[in-house]
Amino acid sequence: MAAADISPTASSEAAPRTAFVLGGGGKLGGYQVGMLRALFERDIVPDLVFGTSVGALQGALLAKNPTPAVCDQLTELWRELLGKRVMAVTVRSVLSNAFRRHPAFASMDALHGVVRSYLGERTRIEDLALPYQCVASSIERAAARYFDSGPLLPAVLASCAIPGLWAPVRIGDEHYVDGGIVETAPVSRAVAYGATTVYVLRMRQRERPLRPARWPWQIGPTVFEISRRHRLAQILSSHPPGVRVHILPSGEAGAEGSDVALRAGPREELALNQRRAAAGYRATCEYLDALDQGRSPHLASSANPVARSYLTTTNATLLSSTASSDRAVTPFLATKYRTLFGLFDKDQDGLIAEADWLGAADNITAAFGHSPDSFRAATLGKAFQESWGRLCEAAGAELSASLDRDTFEGAVARLVGTPHAYLANFLPMVVAFLATADTNGTNMLEAEEAQRLLQTFGVDPADALTVTRRLDTNGDGAVSLDELSEAFQAYFTSDERGCAGNMIFGSLPD
């Protein structure tokens, strides 16, 4: 069966189309197998498939066989790829490449043989069951090349050609290397071709921190990863209104301690691949189930591992271990706490009551157009109720009591006395803020969403864009959970006058 036409379209009248975008990640591709299984179990199937690097390979097999059975095929594919050690660097491969003057350490012959057995020698992209595109990086043009027609096998190999590991793949008069260099997740390409719902299956998630290189040969991959992550964040935050983008979690943070088991044999690598598939399946199931039940998927799919562990622990346990944290309140911190107090003391009677505190949640909910009985309103309201309870407990007051400024200041200081205390007592509110303001489901705040949220916090509309840009510390055009949390933590704990977090509740008095 020939694939349907995949012409670019910007028409809002076209039938809704679902795209699966499979990102790169080398041996981490096992996560995508589990993610695909979770999608198929919930009858979520693609109309279009886009891939880069290892995602180009798995996406090609998906486009060829867009049924649940493809998950078993991919499992067998990985069994062969790992069993034949297609990425292995041997003395023979190094000497052979040196003799032939190929700028690579390994041979692509084994990869070529395995991929050919699954995709076919003469299969053309037009022959696939679904419209499919993969991207590779042209050396001569220093640009992306999207393959949407022609021979499938060389296009996939070109997209997978990791620089240094494998030699560039020649197609026509040009040489191509890994597509992840120019397009780590072709979301914008999917949107340009009419996708109205996009599921992004990506690995090497942004919350996994990079570490400085320890050896000279690690510098190149580290620099590449910095560039890749920055580009990915820009892509994910730049889609037009009306397009729903789901950034599926891979679950990798809890599946392994490092990217690649460098010293593992085929058996160990296969076991690791199976764990990756299971982690991708579990994490994606959590995300999709949260969507089905009207819950926010942010907690399941976001947050760095440390923050997530606190958020999934009972509040009672956390409060008992952190509420007693006392810290000296410096004059600058006191100024910030008093500014926050003033935002809640609307009637300027010098007191904050529970109604004042919870009223802020209603104002934020209304600012984003959520119904008072919506799940997001309930989630934010619960976060405010719990935080009020923590404040009162830290102040030694009843829930029905009103807190004066000095009592409020002391209670806040106790709740943020240590990093652990901040994570337990304030991070749940930050997650709720993000869930409420993230109206298009990207798991981050785009510029307009961030500005609107800041204005509900008391930031002057004329300053909201400037504050948003400062909160966006990685310059990707959006504010992530980590960036928002860092800003809140800086507001409550930092004496550094120049940090961006000082501005989240409006200008401070001189």
53 an active-site residue?
Answer: yes
Rounded Cα distance between 510 and 29, Å, is 53
Nearest to 243 by CA among 48, 17, 6: 17
Rounded Cα distance between 442 and 435, Å, is 10
178 an active-site residue?
Answer: yes
- DSSP symbol at 160: H
DSSP string, 310-354: HHTS-HHHHHHHHTT------HHHHHHHHHHHHHH-TT-SSEE-H
CB 169 within 8 A of CB 36: no
Which listed residue (53, 237, 250, 485) is catalytic?
A: 53
**Angle, helices 54-64/109-119, rounded to nearest 10 degrees:** 20
Rounded Cα distance between 386 and 429, Å, is 9
Rg over alpha carbons for the chain, rounded to the nearest Å, is 25
Which listed residue (93, 148, 159, 178) is catalytic?
A: 178
As a 3-state breakdown, the chain gives helix, strand, coil percent values, each rounded to 5, of: 55, 10, 35
**Angle, helices 481-493/461-471, rounded to nearest 10 degrees:** 110
Q: Which residues are catalytic?
A: 53, 178
